[in-house]
């Protein structure tokens, strides 16, 4: 089976008139790349902004614009196009189209298709700030929400008309994130998850330091998967070159001590802690305030090291610890070290990386160590693995009602 995030999902992508139509080309590409089939339906106004030819090329399917289009087998495009769809997404959704939806109008193919649907409907508004804040629009949006229609965005910022404010369409990547989140089972609804990710950087002097090759990809993928599963997520990240996952609260730190302090400050508010960071075990005991220079006699500098705090063990040793999950990257004998590390750190679950060379790679193979034994998960890319791990963690959490 494909592990693509939206494999097997069929979406009807309805486009209405607005300059944001150009963003839908990119959205279509993201959706199809993730394995979804995308059936584009455009209003007449949408075709003024981008052509059906472009959308057909990107979606790989004929585009429908007219209620009277005879290409569907029984000539009922307004019914047939949404049957079998997992959702209809209207992007961009114009002021006019939101008003039509709120009142149940069905005077063109797309609006009729929405009224005749038997699947969820998501709308992605895009309009001028005055049009968005107009009381009629706000009334219509409130009505759509009351009718169970999901609204994604809008964003705030500069608009095509030159004004600045609420109403601009979410960026395609954000719409993509919201759509995948929509399809993710909410196994962590109501949970608060704190994670560490990436390497730490332990300075030696103002320009040098000790770090490691952790890319942060696994921790960021887990933060994203937890957020999509409905959790409130706080990610404490060492120095990495990764974008913050949509909807995740991120706090950047450099050193192990800073990571420890950030975690200990936040942890009372969280019910799950996942330590994914590759925390430096040692730091130099004296950081030089000046750049260390070569001396005339070419003397090699010597450093004394002190041990950094163990963040995971500190959290697990709290009087009322959250559910703690550790990670272990070992260069050999994972079976022995994994369980030994779990017991030493006093955590209920430890995830061991099989093979030492996972730093920076896109896929991974892991074993779960817990008191009851061990479970191997199949090799997968880090996003799929993160989804699987979130499901495994969610199954093991104590009943929410007994968390204080």
Which residue ranges are tagged as binding site?
281, 291, 309-312, 327, 341, 345
Minimal distance, residue 307 CB to ligand CTP, in Å: 8
By CB neighbour count within 10 A (0-12 exposed, 13-18 middle, 19+ buried), where does 22 fall? middle
Say how many residues touch ligand CTP, by CB under 6 A: 16
Q: Which DSSP category does 243 fall into?
A: P
Nearest approach, Cβ of residue 384 and ligand CTP (Å): 21
CB-nearer residue toward ligand CTP: 322 or 326:
326
Alpha-carbon distance 40 to 25, whole Å? 11
Scan residues 177-196 and list those touching ligand CTP (CB under 6 A): 196
Residue closer to ligand CTP, measured from CB, 157 or 305? 305
Considering only 85, 98, 149, 277, the residue that binds ligand CTP (CB under 6 A) is 277
Helix (H) or strand (E) holding 389: helix 382-396
Who contacts 312 (Cβ-Cβ below 8 Å, separation ≥6)?
Answer: 273, 275, 324, 326, 345, 347
The least distance separating ligand CTP from the CB of residue 194, rounded to whole angstroms, comes to: 12
Question: One symbol per residue from 295 to 334: x for binding ligand CTP (CB under 6 A), - otherwise; what is it?
Answer: -------------x-xxx-------------xxxx-----
205 binds ligand CTP (CB under 6 A): no
Of 21, 119, 161, 324, the catalytic one is 161
**Which among 34, 63, 33 has a CA at the least distance from the CA of 51?**
63
Instruction: Give CA–CA dist 395/392, Å, rounded.
Output: 5
Strands 121-125 and 150-151: parallel
- Beta carbon of residue 257, minimum distance to ligand CTP (angstroms, whole number): 10
Please confirm, yes or no, whether 324 is among the known catalytic residues: no
Nearer to ligand CTP, 77 or 262 (CB): 262
Main-chain dihedrals φ then ψ at residue 18, nearest 5 degrees: 165, 155
CB distance 292 to 205 below 8 Å: yes
Residues annotated as part of the active site: 161
List of residues contacting ligand CTP (CB under 6 A): 196, 256, 275-277, 279, 281, 308, 310-312, 326-329, 341
């Amino acid at each position: 089976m494909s592990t693509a995030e939206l494999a097997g999902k069929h979406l009807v992508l309805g486009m209405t008139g607005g300059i944001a139509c150009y963003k839908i080309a990119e959205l279509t590409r993201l959706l199809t790349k993730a394995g979804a089939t995308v059936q584009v339906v455009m209003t007449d106004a949408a075709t003024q902004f981008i052509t059906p030819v472009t959308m057909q090329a990107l979606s790989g399917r004929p585009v429908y614009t007219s209620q009277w289009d005879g290409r569907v087998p029984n000539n009922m495009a307004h019914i047939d196009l949404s049957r079998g769809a997992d959702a209809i997404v209207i992007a961009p959704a114009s002021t006019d189209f939101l008003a039509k939806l709120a009142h149940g109008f069905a005077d063109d193919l797309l609006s009729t298709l929405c009224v005749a649907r038997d699947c969820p409907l998501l709308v992605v508004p895009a309009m001028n700030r005055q049009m968005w804040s107009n009381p009629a629009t706000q009334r219509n949006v409130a009505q759509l929400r009351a009718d169970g229609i999901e609204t994604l965005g809008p964003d705030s910022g500069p608009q095509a008309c030159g004004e600045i404010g609420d109403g601009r369409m979410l960026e395609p990547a954000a719409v993509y994130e919201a759509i995948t989140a929509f399809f993710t089972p909410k196994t962590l609804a109501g949970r608060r998850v704190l994670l560490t990710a990436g390497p730490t950087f332990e300075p030696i002097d103002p320009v040098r330091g000790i770090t490691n090759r952790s890319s942060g990809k696994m921790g960021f993928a887990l933060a994203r998967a937890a957020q999509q599963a409905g959790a409130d997520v706080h990610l404490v990240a060492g120095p990495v070159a990764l974008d913050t996952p949509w909807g995740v609260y991120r706090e950047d730190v450099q050193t192990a001590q800073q990571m420890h302090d950030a975690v200990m400050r936040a942890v009372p508010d969280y019910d799950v802690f996942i330590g994914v960071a590759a925390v430096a075990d040692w730091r130099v005991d004296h950081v030089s305030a000046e750049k260390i220079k070569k001396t005339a006699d070419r003397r090699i500098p010597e450093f004394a090291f002190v041990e950094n705090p163990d963040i995971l063990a500190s959290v697990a040793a709290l009087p009322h610890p959250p559910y703690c999950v550790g990670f272990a990257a070992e260069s050999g004998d994972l079976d022995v070290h994994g369980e030994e590390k779990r017991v030493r750190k006093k955590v209920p679950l430890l995830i061991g990386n099989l093979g030492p060379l996972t730093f920076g790679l896109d896929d991974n193979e892991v074993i779960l160590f817990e008191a009851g034994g061990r479970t191997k998960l199949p090799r997968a890319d880090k996003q799929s693995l993160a989804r699987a791990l979130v499901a495994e963690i969610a199954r093991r959490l104590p009943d929410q009602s007994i968390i204080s």
